[in-house]
């Protein structure tokens, strides 16, 4: 797992709580109103209000004429019609779904065009906090947008199915085999890929269900995976997220403020093929973490594997999380402080010819096997302008001797071309399907 994940969202809000039932005394009513106002402004202040929200949750439900206002978690909206599709640079969300579809037998370009029209319309509506145009299930009738994002991509096989082979980008050539791969083909690849993220699990599920219904007879689900991250407001300060190994994960992720960010992550507006202008390529990997083995290591052994302190993500050579590690520094015995096979050493861009990718993952937990071993890990998603210059060189180097490799297993994989965002009145992929 390259050490470049997206930072977690910066505690944007607490949880809205119900006020007291009717008949509350004047002083109690004032306290209830004060608490409600405080919760409603949590996003702006960044305060940690989990305890207050939890306690207030036992109060009587609000009466219809005294509904509790949405906190910023519910009201936050991400725009659909933008230059780059949403869900790429959007801050990490608390709940996510990844789903791949295959076009149905006999379906081709015509059916795919109609499907992308429907999907784009539904995504635009749901991201605005509105109901789907047809057959909405009312699951989110009383919810806000909750930072919902929907992102669409095309797999290698899509182009043959639609007669668009000449428009298939070279960057979409299949990924090479890696020695650590134990891939399940049934949970890999696909004609179409959809990424859904939201800060409310019901909002995310509602979008998943609506898009699956929209597929109708045109496409069927090939595979689907569910993920999660820390909820906004769950920490007392903005910080890089942690993975299920307890490690700070994503310290060296490229940032939109970097001068070369767009060059590394997005296809240029004058790039090839033309329909991929302002788009990106997503590598998707289901990475199982062998947590029982990992948790049997001592703290020092875990930190040596990563090359960073578990407490705050700082390099073993000292400083804070963002301090550049001194890779040549040795201890009193002349031994490298950051081991030669430490994960953070191997994944550094300056150790890989400048290769970099924007990691934006979700954690997953799909229960336990017959021996009680957790089926858990990382839904690894990384974005780059060209996977042959981003993901591939880093993964090849990891394949040759990453200290983390014995504790993870790559079980599914996909590569998808994600075109630029749709302008007002357009649908995603229109320049490909109607070009």
Active site residues: 249
| Alpha carbon distances (Å) from 404 to 69, 261, 342, 361, 408 | 46, 27, 8, 17, 7
Retrieve residue 272's tokens: 């090839």
Dihedral of alpha carbons 253, 255, 258, 263, sign: positive
Question: In 3D, which of 415, 385, 390 has the Cα closest to residue 156?
Answer: 415
Give the list of residues 6+ apart from residue 4 with CB closer than 8 angstroms, or none.
250, 252, 253, 254, 347, 356, 357, 358, 359, 382
Residue 430 makes CB contacts below 8 A (sequence gap 6+) with: 116, 422
Spatial neighbors of 307 by CB under 8 A, at least 6 apart, are 315, 316, 325, 338, 339, 342, 343, 344, 345
Q: How far apart are CA 49 and CA 239, in angstroms?
A: 17
The three-state secondary structure class of 220 is: strand
For the chain, helix, strand, coil in percent to 5 are 30, 20, 50
Give, to the nearest 10 degrees, the angle between helix 201-215 and helix 109-127.
Answer: 160
The rounded distance, in Å, linking the Cα atoms of 197 and 76 is: 13
**Would you say 285 and 413 are in contact if contact means Cβ atoms under 8 Å apart?**
yes
Counting Cβ atoms within 10 Å, is residue 315 exposed (0-12), middle (13-18) or buried (19+)? buried
Omega cis (within 30) before 273: yes
- The per-residue DSSP string of 121-138 comes to HHHHHHHTTPPPSS----
Task: DSSP letter for 315, please.
Answer: B
Alpha-carbon torsion angle 349, 352, 358, 360, nearest 10 = -110
Long-range contacts of 24-32 (CB under 8 A, 24+ apart): 32/59
Tokens 């004058």 appear where? 270
> What is the rounded CA–CA span in Å between residue 274 and residue 41?
44
The one-character DSSP state at 312 is T
């Amino acid at each position: 797992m390259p050490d470049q994940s997206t930072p977690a969202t910066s505690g944007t809000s607490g949880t809205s709580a119900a006020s007291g039932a009717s008949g509350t005394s004047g002083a109690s009513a004032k306290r209830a109103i004060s608490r409600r106002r405080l919760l409603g402004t949590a996003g702006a202040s960044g305060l940690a209000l989990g305890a207050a929200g939890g306690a207030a949750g036992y109060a009587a439900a609000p009466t219809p004429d005294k509904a509790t206002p949405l906190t910023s978690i519910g009201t936050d909206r991400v725009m659909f019609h933008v230059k780059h599709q949403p869900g790429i640079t959007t801050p990490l969300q608390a709940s996510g779904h990844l789903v791949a579809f295959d076009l149905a037998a006999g379906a081709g370009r015509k059916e795919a065009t109609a499907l992308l029209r429907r999907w784009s319309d539904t995504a635009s509506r749901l991201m605005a906090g509105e109901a789907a145009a047809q057959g909405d299930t009312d699951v989110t009738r009383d919810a806000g947008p909750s930072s919902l994002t929907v992102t669409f991509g095309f797999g290698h096989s899509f182009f043959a199915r639609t007669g668009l082979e000449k428009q298939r980008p070279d960057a979409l050539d299949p990924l090479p085999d890696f020695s650590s791969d134990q891939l399940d083909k049934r949970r890999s690849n696909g004609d179409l890929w959809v990424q859904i993220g939201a800060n409310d699990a019901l909002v995310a599920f509602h979008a998943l269900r609506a898009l699956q219904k929209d597929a109708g007879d045109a496409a069927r689900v090939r595979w689907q995976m569910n993920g999660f991250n820390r909820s906004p407001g769950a920490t007392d300060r903005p910080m890089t997220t942690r993975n299920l190994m307890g490690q700070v994960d994503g310290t060296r992720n490229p940032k939109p403020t970097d001068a070369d960010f767009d060059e590394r992550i997005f296809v240029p507006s004058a790039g090839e093929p033309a329909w991929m202008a302002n788009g990106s390529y997503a590598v998707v990997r289901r990475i199982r973490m062998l947590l029982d083995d990992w948790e049997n290591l001592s703290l020092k052994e875990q930190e040596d594997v990563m090359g960073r302190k578990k407490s705050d993500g700082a390099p073993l050579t000292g400083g804070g999380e963002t301090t550049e590690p001194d890779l040549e520094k040795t201890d009193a015995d002349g031994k490298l402080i950051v081991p030669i096979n430490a994960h953070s050493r191997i994944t550094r861009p300056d150790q890989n010819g400048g290769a970099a990718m924007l990691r934006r993952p979700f954690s997953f937990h799909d229960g336990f096997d017959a021996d009680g071993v957790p089926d858990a890990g990382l839904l690894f998603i990384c974005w780059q302008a060209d996977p042959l210059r981003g993901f591939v060189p880093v993964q090849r180097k990891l394949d040759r001797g990453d200290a983390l490799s014995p504790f993870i297993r790559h079980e599914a994989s996909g590569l998808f071309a994600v075109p630029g965002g749709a302008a007002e009145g357009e649908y995603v992929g229109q320049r490909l399907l109607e070009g």
